[in-house]
Amino acid sequence: MPTRLTNYFLRTLREDPADAEVTSHRLLVRAGYIRRQAPGVFAWLPLGLRVKAKIEAIIRDEMTNAGAHEVHFPALLPREPYEVTNRWTEYGDNLFRLQDRRGTDYLLAPTHEEVFTLLVKDLYNSYKDLPLSIYQIQDKYRDEARPRAGLLRGREFTMKDAYSFDISDEGLDVSYQAQRDAYERIFTRLGLEYVIVKADAGAMGGSKSEEFLHPTPVGEDTFVRSAGGYAANVEAFETVVPEAIPFDGLPAPLVLDSPNTPTIATLVDLANAEYPRPDGRAWTAADTLKNVVLAVVAPDGTRELVVIGLPGDRDVEMKRVEVAFAPGEVEPATEADFAKHPGLVKGYIGPWSEAGAVLGDESSTGIRFLVDPRVVDGTEWITGANVDQKHVFGLVAGRDFVADGTVEASNVLPGDPAPDGSGPVELARGMEIGHVFQLGRKYAEALGLKVLDENGKLATVTMGSYGIGVTRILAIIAEDNNDDKGLVWPAAVAPFDVHVVATGRDEAVFDAAETIVAELEASGLDVLYDDRPKVSPGVKFGDAELIGVPKIVIVGRGVADGVVEVWDRATGDRAQVAIGEVGAALA
């Protein structure tokens, strides 16, 4: 049965919604696909629901091909399992929590590792039951601090989440690869460009983790890639460590006056003006060692100061620092922190002073000192002398100071070498559209998921977790496929295959349109039929362009000559086609 606009639940809007930050949000609302209910919470109108169903069907198909079985968990879950894994607390304000009438704690699940683990624990007990991959397509809840960009970051959103269960690490690799391959097939079928980046597992724990990022200017993530094929999340980028330099012949460090130079820029200016290099090369920020004081708060609440030393042309990147110190949380040191450590002279901090080591090995402050991996032995630095208004020049790493270790805390800069030797990297914006994790045994251990192994002994199961943001994908496809007139859906996910527009008031035209619509439906196409009798062709064409069905058939005066127009929404091409040839022209 064709869908007729005379009685379809659809109203296109002339005005952009006031709160739309991105194109997909603006167009999906204007063209009648979605409607906002609360910040980050949307209702799906008939057109939107059709596109969502098509995306879900492709995902289901490839999950089946990957050997995964569909289940469906509730969104409302009891607190206990999330308490066991500590995620009840770790999720912080991102978790929607509630109580039932008896005062029992519940949550709206942001992800389902715990209950999938418990389900398998409930039903399975032998290695013979494994491997197992199960998935669901289900609505999830995260109380985002800043729900934004329409469906791109919502608080209620649809995800496909899959979980794999294996007895061995090798088995997990196979299950992981099967999901990873399925993701590649899904994104290819959806026509979505993707980059697979190494990712930090973050709050999910576990060992191996990759993200599927879709390069897009509206992306929330910055990722690193080289022309030679390297790609990683900024958090996962590994610095290429330079060779150490022999100390031989390096001059002794020199403490020099450096009034009013609490910043790298002022320091470099002063150095070039007052203490130029003998060989005439200018000092740059890269010649300085910046020492940043941070406080790490461990899960048990203990607070530790850490100083990070990094080349002055780089900044500490908090995302990378957070990964380095997880599960501890990192924040800038406070005045109170400094007050407790008079050995650190603010604005002039360095690992060394004329009185001896200040940070690191044999230090006087007892504060942990970690350096960027580029601070290798033999590198020379201008850095604070731990005396107000003084810096030390020519301080040599490994000779004049020894750090307590290295840390991946610096930002990545364009031109940095890729760790796999594939050349210099660039930074790009991307949006996460999928994520595959090797969780390992973390959840199985916490929740006691063990099965009997081949020797009849209890062995802890190893798990993977695999997510795709269904509603986010829909928004990204809309974000990528539009023009100034409206949406331009790829055929794989379009709400309809063809949009037939009858124009004018001539009954013969509407009769011909009815016949064409019936034939197209009979050939298996989903047809949206604009049968509105008193709407001008201009309005009808405008709606068709806004809605964005890939093929539009215009039935008008040409009917008298036995022809209609077939209009390709993407290219704008219009072709006269004999009425009997419409089906073939659309194939």
Q: How far is the CB of 71 from a second copy (least distance, A)?
A: 6
Q: Is residue 19 a contact residue for a second copy (CB under 8 A)?
A: no
CA distance 1 to 514: 11
Phi, psi of 121 (to 5 degrees): -60, -40
Decide: residue 367, CB within 10 A, 0-12 exposed, 13-18 middle, 19+ buried.
Answer: buried
Distance of alpha carbon 407 from alpha carbon 317, whole angstroms? 11
Compute φ and ψ for 358, nearest 5 degrees.
Answer: -100, -40
Selected from 20, 58, 77, 452, the binder of a second copy by CB under 8 A is 77
Amino acid identity, position 506: D
Minimum CB separation of residue 78 from a second copy in Å reads 5
CA angle 52, 34, 523 (to 5 degrees): 45
| Dihedral sign for Cα atoms in the order 86, 90, 96, 102 | positive
Provide, rounded to whole angstroms, the least separation between the CB of residue 124 and a second copy. Answer: 7
* Nearer Cβ to a second copy (99/334): 99
CB 260 within 8 Å of CB 353: no
Span from 99-107, 215-223, 482-490, 545-553 in contact with a second copy (CB under 8 A): 99-107
Residue holding tokens 């022209």? Answer: 585
| Residue 139 or 404 having the CB closest to a second copy | 139
Distance CA(174)–CA(462), nearest Å, equals 12
Total Cβ atoms within 10 A of residue 191: 14
Calpha distance 548→550 (Å, rounded): 6
Residues 23-52: x/- map of binding to a second copy (CB under 8 A)?
A: ---------x--x-xx--xxxxxx--x---
| Least distance from a second copy to the Cβ atom of residue 388, Å | 43
Smallest separation (angstroms) from a second copy to the CB of 76: 5
CB of 128 to a second copy, least distance (A): 9
Q: Is 93 in the site for a second copy (CB under 8 A)?
A: yes
Contact criterion met (CB below 8 Å) for 367 and 341: yes
Least gap, CB of 171 to a second copy (angstroms) = 13
CA 152 to each of CA 42, 155, 562: distance values in angstroms, whole numbers, following the listed order: 11, 10, 46
Q: Based on CB atoms, which residue is closest to a second copy, 156 or 287? A: 156
Q: Pull the structure tokens for residue 33.
A: 């696909």
Whichever of 122 and 248 has its CB closer to a second copy, that residue is 122
265 φ, ψ (degrees, to nearest 5): -60, -45
Nearer to a second copy, 145 or 273 (CB): 145
User: Rule CB under 8 A: which of 215-254 touch a second copy?
Assistant: none
- 322 near a second copy, rule: CB under 8 A: no
- Cα–Cα distance for residue pair 144/472, rounded to 1 Å: 14
Contact call for residues 499 and 513 (beta carbons, < 8 A): no
74: contact with a second copy by CB under 8 A: yes
Does 87 engage in binding with a second copy (CB under 8 A)? no
Q: Which is nearer to a second copy, 64 or 263 (CB)?
A: 64
Which one of 70, 170, 181, 454 is in contact with a second copy (CB under 8 A)? 70
Binding mask 463-502 for a second copy (x = CB under 8 A): ----------------------------------------
**Could you tell me which residues are beta bridge partners of residue 452?**
126, 458
Does 18 engage in binding with a second copy (CB under 8 A)? no
How far is the C-alpha of 46 from the C-alpha of 463, rounded, in Å?
A: 37
- Measured from the CB of residue 120, what is the shortest distance to a second copy in angstroms? 9
* Helix, strand or coil, per DSSP, at residue 456: coil
- The reply on whether position 67 binds a second copy by CB under 8 A is yes
Of 410, 37, 395, give the one whose Cα is nearest residue 247: 395
One of 72, 336, 455, 538 touching a second copy (CB under 8 A) = 72
94 versus 222: smaller Cβ distance to a second copy: 94
Size of the site for a second copy (CB under 8 A): 51
| DSSP-derived 3-state class of residue 492 | coil
Structure tokens, 223: 């990722």
Minimal distance in Å, beta carbon 149 to a second copy? 17
Q: 7 or 571: whose CB is closer to a second copy?
A: 7
Residues 122-161 that bind a second copy (CB under 8 A): 122-124, 129, 132, 134, 139, 141, 143, 145, 155-156
By CB under 8 A, is residue 83 in contact with a second copy? no
The residue among 341 and 450 lying less far from a second copy, judged by its C-beta, is 450
> Which amino acid belongs to residue 27?
L
- Shortest Å distance, C-beta 45 to a second copy: 6
Give dist(CA 305, CA 150) in Å, integer: 40
The answer to whether residues 444 and 460 touch, using CB atoms and an 8 Å cutoff, is: yes
Q: Phi and psi at residue 504, in whole multiples of 5°?
A: 80, -165
**300, 362 in Cβ contact below 8 A?**
no
Per CB under 8 A, 76 contacts a second copy:
yes
Instruction: Single out the segment in contact with a second copy by CB under 8 A; choices: 4-12, 258-266, 339-347, 442-450.
Output: 4-12
- We find the least distance from the C-beta atom of residue 574 to a second copy, in angstroms, to be 30
Q: How far is the CB of 483 from a second copy (least distance, A)?
A: 25
Instruction: Provide the token pair at 154.
Output: 């919502």
Residues at the contact surface with a second copy, assessed by CB under 8 A:
1, 7-9, 11, 32, 35, 37-38, 41-46, 49, 64, 67, 69-78, 93-94, 96-98, 100-101, 106, 108, 115, 119, 122-124, 129, 132, 134, 139, 141, 143, 145, 155-156
